[in-house]
């Protein structure tokens, strides 16, 4: 089997059949040539898309994380790569376990977010499959050392807009990454508020 497309319409239909309808969002993400070069080297060979994990505990708070190499105080929802030949749901289950060690219940597919990274001359498509995932409130513990998660923090769903604001205002070396990462956090805030 060859690599699957970033957006597989048949797979989305199956996910919606099993988990309910989802939002479809699309964004152009302008980047510097060096930022886009990083993604062009990283994405095609390692991942076809990613899962976004909106992990909600029993009290309705959303799990965020930070890593040692992020700018100080930077948190965001968890995401993880979907390998080139991997289906979305197996990737979600694998990534939740690798990054948190939690046993969870998959609630619904909130959105499929389609991006077009561009530096003005080159472009690269990418996508986030954004899932609502419910945990039993256990303490998360990464199972994969390569994840390098330094800390978890729970926030109210409405606070994800503040998380997105912070990501949109990172230092210059991180601004392209931050603006890209803000999109899923803001989408999660809006979609969770629409469901309550």
The full set of domains in the chain, from first to last, is: 27-154 (3.90.79.10)
Cβ neighbours of 191 (radius 10 Å)? 20
pLDDT for residue 5: 87
Alpha carbon distance 190, 178 (integer Å): 18
Helix, strand, coil percentages (3-state) for the chain, rounded to 5, are 40, 30, 30
Instruction: Indicate the burial class of 175 (C-beta count within 10 angstroms; 0-12, 13-18, 19 or more).
Output: middle
Q: Which residues pair with 78 in a beta bridge?
A: 53
Using DSSP, state whether 144 is helix, strand or coil. coil
Per-residue pLDDT of the chain (196 residues; tens, 9 = 90+): 567 889 999 999 999 999 999 999 999 999 999 999 999 998 888 999 999 999 999 999 999 999 999 999 999 999 999 999 999 999 999 999 999 999 999 999 999 999 999 999 999 999 999 999 999 999 999 998 888 999 999 999 999 999 999 999 999 999 999 999 999 999 999 999 986 4
pLDDT for residue 42: 87
Cα 82 from chain centroid (whole Å): 11
pLDDT for residue 4: 85
pLDDT for residue 108: 96
pLDDT for residue 145: 81
Alpha carbon distance 188, 174 (integer Å): 21
* CB-CB contact of 81 with 46 (8 Å): yes
Alpha carbon distance 98, 129 (integer Å): 17
Of 52, 87, 66, nearest in space to 142 by CA: 66
pLDDT for residue 1: 55
Cβ neighbours of 58 (radius 10 Å)? 9
């Amino acid at each position: 089997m060859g690599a699957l497309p970033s957006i597989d319409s048949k797979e989305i239909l199956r996910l919606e059949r099993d988990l309910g309808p989802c939002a479809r969002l699309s964004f152009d993400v302008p980047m510097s040539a060096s930022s886009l070069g990083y993604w062009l080297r990283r994405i095609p060979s390692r991942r076809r898309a990613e899962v976004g994990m909106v992990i909600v505990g029993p009290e309705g708070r959303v799990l965020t994380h930070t890593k040692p190499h992020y700018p100080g105080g930077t948190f965001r929802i968890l995401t993880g790569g979907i390998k080139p030949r991997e289906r979305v749901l197996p990737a979600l289950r694998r990534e939740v376990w690798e990054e948190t060690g939690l046993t969870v219940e998959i609630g619904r597919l909130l959105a499929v977010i389609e991006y077009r990274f561009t530096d003005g001359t080159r472009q690269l498509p990418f996508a986030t499959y954004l899932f609502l995932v419910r945990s039993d409130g256990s303490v998360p513990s990464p199972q994969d050392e390569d994840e390098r998660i330094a800390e978890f923090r729970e926030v109210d769903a409405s606070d994800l807009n503040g998380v997105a604001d912070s990501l949109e205002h990172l230092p210059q070396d991180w601004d392209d990454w931050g603006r890209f990462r803000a999109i899923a956090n803001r989408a999660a805030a809006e979609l969770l508020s629409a469901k309550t």
